[in-house]
């Protein structure tokens, strides 16, 4: 499995473990090698683009409740947490459709959140909600 280290905000990648079968996936125009059966969100996290994700944890698997990891494949929005890679898959995380859907999903979460993440002093860098607010560039709650 490939490992990613982040130093000074930069991603450093090492090659994935050798396997007899590889899967080619194109994310936002860049080609990547994936492992068969790998979840799309795990691949995205491994190659280091920033994609919001509130309910996903690799050890729990896809919970599919927050919709903050929506990406576009062939014009369709899909949850990256619940989609497994397939050879030749082409997706975009940067389309206006995917970005708007992620913001709408996160807005639904924020309506039930008691704190205002845009001005929260209670954040130590470990708050998923606060970090997602920043990642999605939400300025008003």
The structure's pTM equals 0.73
Q: What is the largest CA-CA distance in the chain?
A: 50
Q: Which domains are seen in the chain, by residue range? A: 4-135 (3.10.20.740)
Paired with 6 in beta bridges are 11
Reported residue count of the chain is 141
**CA 116 to each of CA 4, 111, 129, 134, 140: distance values in angstroms, whole numbers, following the listed order:** 32, 10, 10, 12, 9
What's the confidence (pLDDT) of residue 97?
A: 96
What's the confidence (pLDDT) of residue 95?
A: 94
What's the confidence (pLDDT) of residue 119?
A: 66
What's the confidence (pLDDT) of residue 6?
A: 39
Phi, psi of 84 (to 5 degrees): -95, 150
Q: CA 16, 22, 27: angle at the middle one, nearest 5?
A: 80
What's the confidence (pLDDT) of residue 19?
A: 54
Per-residue pLDDT of the chain (141 residues; tens, 9 = 90+): 444 443 344 444 444 555 568 999 999 999 999 999 999 999 999 997 789 998 887 777 788 889 999 999 999 999 999 999 999 999 999 999 999 999 999 888 888 776 666 666 666 667 787 778 778 877 766
What's the confidence (pLDDT) of residue 122?
A: 66
Structure tokens, 100: 């708007």
What's the confidence (pLDDT) of residue 57?
A: 79
């Amino acid at each position: 499995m490939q490992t990613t280290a982040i130093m000074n905000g930069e991603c450093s990648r090492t090659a994935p473990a050798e396997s007899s079968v590889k899967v080619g996936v194109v994310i936002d125009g860049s080609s990547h090698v994936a492992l068969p059966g790998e979840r799309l969100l795990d691949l995205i996290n491994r190659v280091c683009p920033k994609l919001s994700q509130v309910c996903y944890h690799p050890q729990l698997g896809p919970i599919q409740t927050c919709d903050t990891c929506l990406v576009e494949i062939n014009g369709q929005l899909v949850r990256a947490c619940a989609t497994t890679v397939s050879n030749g898959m082409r997706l975009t995380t940067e389309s206006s459709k995917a970005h708007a859907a992620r913001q709408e999903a996160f807005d639904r979460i924020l309506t039930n959140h008691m704190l205002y993440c845009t001005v929260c002093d209670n954040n130590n860098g470990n708050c998923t909600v606060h970090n997602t607010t920043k990642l999605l560039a939400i300025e008003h709650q």
